[in-house]
Amino acid sequence: MPDHVLAIVARPSLEAPAAPDASDWRFVDPASPQLTALDLGATRGDGIFETLSVNHGRAQALDHHLRRFARSAAMLDLPAPDLATWRAVILAAVAELDVPGEAFVKIVMTRGIEYGDRPTGWAYGSVSPDFTRERSDGVSVVLLDRGYRHDVERTSPWLLAGAKTLSYAVNRAVAREAARRGADDVVFVSSDGIVLEGPTSTVVYRRGDGLFSPGTGLGILDGTTQANVFRWAEGLGMSTAFELTTPDILRSADAAWLVSSVRLAAPVRAIDGVPLPVDREFTDTMNGWLAALDN
Amino acid sequence: MPDHVLAIVARPSLEAPAAPDASDWRFVDPASPQLTALDLGATRGDGIFETLSVNHGRAQALDHHLRRFARSAAMLDLPAPDLATWRAVILAAVAELDVPGEAFVKIVMTRGIEYGDRPTGWAYGSVSPDFTRERSDGVSVVLLDRGYRHDVERTSPWLLAGAKTLSYAVNRAVAREAARRGADDVVFVSSDGIVLEGPTSTVVYRRGDGLFSPGTGLGILDGTTQANVFRWAEGLGMSTAFELTTPDILRSADAAWLVSSVRLAAPVRAIDGVPLPVDREFTDTMNGWLAALDN
């Protein structure tokens, strides 16, 4: 069975016409061209995506990812994704993929061809990169200005802060800036000094017996892995809470992690060059629990 | 001859390997798939573009557009575009297009396929939409928060403000917000109250015998059409200047325009519902001069 698969989704939304295709989706060669140069995904980053991890042949946090996919679509005024079709194509990709270790499935819906009447959809599944080192040794991060105030989601919804869009050039540019500064990853800070999220992760930190995260309503994503980590911590009897997080709060945490679907929990071992303690045992237990989830 | 053409560029940069292709570029069917679903242009909006107008079979402001294309590439740490090849493919597309009226050519360079070693490039040429009404009757605009301070280009270059990237979901979202408010177009204002630019245009306004524009260094594009409009005004003996523009300065202008390569100068007839005078004769003369440019 293949170690990466691509499925084209003929009817990503029931609110728009379907592609003239015999099936709801079909597997195609991932290396062959599937998109025209007029697709608004390619010319304007005008679309949305989700990335799900696959462990033991099961897609993780499927409902949460689909809910967020629908929310991103609404924020972009895209036709509502047909979640039954997307769920089916994700499960089909997972079944077709069938790799022994960790894998992921990425689903994408673009606004389609300019002046056209239907969105473009696809699902790509592949073996995951090996994140053993990041999970055990941790990542060094730099704090970088996200440019926006922490309240733009409420004041300026047209900025699409909090939607998971294809317009991710900035999320990739900050990774290059981190590398220039000798760091592995980034934590965004709002222009008014509130810790937001990583470019592809959610910030979680521990203080005493509590786990904390900056939470929603800040123009950041509602973290699927963060929700699972909170669930795990609550099962251990820890308290969990969202709080408005300043850089000083983060820097003085007992430990911190960048959590995301595929890399899981990467402990933060330094912020702007200043070391932060890494609790390996706690992190290993957290990652073991995340990796063993069956939904 | 066709009214739209697509050319795939085999070697968009001399700093990266070429596609295994016999020619520097080749014309393909614009409706047929050319991009894979793994292209970072389509999955991350990770690339750059320029749109040139074509009048009388001549690409306008070609040098200026190529200079800006190279600048955007540098801001995104993309390999430097081979401007000789891009110039040649633009001229070839213009020649192949050969429409009687106005046309445009859009050039795009993406970072290519993830983990790959070469960018993807294409040029798309087509007949222009008819902008007669916008040029004569004008457009109503709303002022919308861009989220960023006016100095982010200097403080936070990783935000890519001032680069013409494929991550344009916000530029399209604000057009929908304008439509919701019953307006035709948008003028962005920085979070600290400075007029910036339109989502696809530069702001120019007249006060007395002077033409003004917000200018560069504000995280906005160096306008190719604005540069031509200033050249035209100077030829008439008018003064021209960049100035830090507040909404009040714009609202109290004698006249204002959104200028861009393809639509040319669209007079602003209202700002947030408050009428602004439209000088039809002056606008017609300006647009006549722009349309008659032969380079």
- Reported as a single tens digit per residue, the pLDDT across B193-209 is 999 999 999 999 999 99
Q: B270 to each of B49, B132, B274, how far by Cα in Å? A: 30, 18, 5
pLDDT in tens, A130-146: 999 999 999 999 999 99
For B15, the 3-state DSSP assignment is coil
Amino acid at B13: S
Structural domain boundaries enclosing B98:
4-127
pLDDT at res. A176:
98
Q: Decide if pLDDT at B93 tops 90.
A: yes
A288 plus A165 within the same structural domain: yes
Separation of first and last alpha carbons in chain B: 23
Residues A121 and A156 in one domain: no
Rounded distance between C-alpha atoms, residue B41 and residue A39, angstroms: 10
Q: What percent of chain B has pLDDT over 70?
A: 99
Are B138 and B248 part of one and the same domain?
yes
Contact (CB, 8 A) for B85 and B109: no
> Mean per-residue pLDDT for B252-275?
98
Same-domain pairing of B147 and B88 = no
Mean pLDDT by 10 residues, chain A (295 residues): 90 88 87 96 98 92 97 98 97 90 96 93 96 97 98 97 98 98 98 98 98 94 97 97 98 98 97 98 97 81
Please give the average per-residue pLDDT across B122-144, as a whole number.
Answer: 97
Q: Of A76, A100, A127, which closes a domain?
A: A127
The ipTM assigned to this model is 0.96
My answer on whether A79 and A164 are in the same domain is: no
Q: What is the pLDDT of residue A295?
A: 66
Degrees, nearest 5: CA angle A66-A267-A225:
15
| Average of per-residue pLDDT across B214-243 | 96
Tens digits of per-residue pLDDT, B2-58? 889 999 999 999 998 887 776 889 999 999 999 999 999 999 999 999 999 998 889
Percent of chain B with pLDDT over 90: 89
Q: Minimal CA–CA distance to A181: which of A256, A270, A276, A278?
A: A270
* Predicted local confidence at residue B22, as pLDDT: 66
Distance of alpha carbon B35 from alpha carbon A180, whole angstroms: 30
Q: Which two tokens stand for residue B159?
A: 């935000």
Assess B191–A contact: CB distance below 8 Å, yes or no.
yes
Number of domains in chain A: 2
Same domain, yes or no: B141 and B43:
no
Identify all chain B residues contacting A44, using CB atoms and an 8 Å cutoff.
45, 166, 168-169, 171-172
- Residue A19 shares a structural domain with residue A123: yes
Distance CA B3, CA B16 (A): 32
**Are A123 and A171 contained in the same domain?**
no
* CB-CB under 8 Å, A49 with B43: yes
Instruction: For an interface test with B, give the residue of A27, A122, A170, A186 to mutate (most B CBs within 10 A).
Output: A170
- What 3-state DSSP class applies to A27? strand
| pLDDT attached to residue A1 | 66
Return the CATH number at A39: 3.30.470.10
pLDDT of residue A56: 84
**In this structure, what CATH number is given to the domain that contains residue B183?**
3.20.10.10
**Co-location of B146 and B104 in the same domain:** no
Q: Which of A35, A209, A226, A179 is nearest to B113 (CA)?
A: A35
**Which of A158, A170, A174 should we substitute to test contact with B (largest number of B Cβ atoms within 10 Å)?**
A158
A196 touches chain B (CB under 8 A): no
Same domain, A122 and A196: no
Which of A63, A95, A127 is the last residue before a domain boundary?
A127
Q: Report pLDDT for B1.
A: 66
Q: Tell me which chain B residues have a C-beta less than 8 angstroms from the C-beta of A39.
A: 35, 42
Q: Mean pLDDT for chain B?
A: 95
B74 contact A CB<8A: no
Of B276 and A19, the structure prediction assigns the larger pLDDT to B276
User: How many Cα atoms sit within 13 Å of A201 on the Cβ side?
Assistant: 24
Q: Which of B97, B2, B12 is nearest to B49 (CA)?
A: B12
pLDDT of amino acid B281: 97
> What tokens appear for A122 in the block?
């696809």
Q: pLDDT, tens digit, for every residue of B152-176?
A: 999 999 999 999 999 999 999 999 9
Q: What is the predicted pLDDT for the residue at A150?
A: 97
Residues of A within 8 A of B47 (CB-CB) are: 169
The domain boundary, picked from A80, A99, A127, lies at: A127
Q: Tell me: do A286 and A153 sit in the same domain.
A: yes
**Do B53 and B137 fall within a single domain?**
no
